Amino acid sequence: MSYVGDVLTIYMPGRSFPALSVTGIKCDQMCEHCRGAHLKSMINAENGPMIDMVNDLISSGGTGMLVSGGCDVKGSVPVMRAIEAIEYASKNGLSVNVHTGFLNKDDAERLAAAGAVFSADVHQDPDIIKNILNLDAAPSAYSDMLDTIISAGGRPAAHLTAGFGIADLTMSADLVKSRGLRNVILLALVPTKGTMTEDTLIPEGAVVDAVRMLKERGFDVTLGCMRPRVHRDLEIRCIEAGVRKIANPSRRTISWAEENGMEIIEERTCCCIDRQYGRSRPSSCLSGKRPHTPEPPSRL
């Protein structure tokens, strides 16, 4: 199959687009597949001066930030603690992605007015919601979340996860499609120490099958950053299945895509953000060696 003329967008946020946790490493929801472990890789913004962090990001040439954190027992992330910093960042040209969980109308409207993009995890299997996500919520809570964001004028970046069973994945996809959304970010369960997934690795083929299912439903699929990295051929197989956007791909994947005639557009943001900072990679990349582009120092 020829890929000449196809474009592969790769998202390489690095220090240009840091992830901030407004709760530090604290999480009350404590989903069984995470148990708060992934908060440890974020910058702790629980008590820090967020405006100063934004100013540091601006001065270092950053492109934006993810504002996230741990959820309360009702599945909400208290991102409104950072609303002034979010508004300030947006006014100064930074892109902002917020992971809110469930939220109310007023918060959605203020975040949307600030230009934030909403990362929206979507689940529909009641067993997963209750026993894995530890939520006392009906599947309709997720449709309400999407409706709240859309009604507020916001843009939900729907995240679907492979590894929770085909029922959750397909029902979630159908919900997202019913709201007129055509772009989804596909994640896959990652083996995480101290959790139910510690010794569980989703088969590579299951992720590829998820891509095919979503493509058959008419979605533009982005392969998100949360996925097992031990599957050497996963990214290439997902490209072959129709993916044209990948977060943090391997050098091997980039070389394969270039060798197969694809144009590579690199973005220094997370994969939820629309193309604003994209640039074509120089032809020197055809050798498989990535050119060194030094980033300005960040004090974050």
Q: What is the pLDDT of residues 120-171, one digit of tens each?
A: 999 999 999 999 999 999 999 999 999 999 999 999 999 999 999 999 999 9
pLDDT bucket at 291, cuts 50 / 70 / 90: very low
Class of 16-249 per CATH? alpha beta
Given a cut of 50, whether residue 66 has pLDDT beyond it is: yes
pLDDT bucket at 275, cuts 50 / 70 / 90: low
Q: Which of residues 52 and 290 earns the better pLDDT score?
A: 52
pLDDT bucket at 188, cuts 50 / 70 / 90: very high
166: which residues sit within 8 A by CB, 6+ positions away? Answer: none
Instruction: Please tell me the predicted confidence (pLDDT) of residue 35.
Output: 82
d(CA 297, CA 7): 30
Q: Is 208 helix (H, G, I), strand (E, B) or coil?
A: helix
Q: What's the pTM? A: 0.90
The enclosing H or E element of 38 equals: none
Instruction: Please tell me the predicted confidence (pLDDT) of residue 36.
Output: 83
Instruction: Please tell me the predicted confidence (pLDDT) of residue 277.
Output: 41
Given a cut of 70, whether residue 262 has pLDDT beyond it is: yes
Average pLDDT of the segment spanning 216-235: 96
| β-pairing verdict for 183-188 and 7-11 | unpaired
Tokens coding 149: 């964001």
Average pLDDT of the segment spanning 273-284: 49
Across 185-194, 234-243, 248-257, 274-283, least confident range: 274-283
225: which residues sit within 8 A by CB, 6+ positions away? Answer: 11, 187, 247, 248, 270, 271
Model confidence over 117-127: pLDDT tens digits?
999 999 999 99
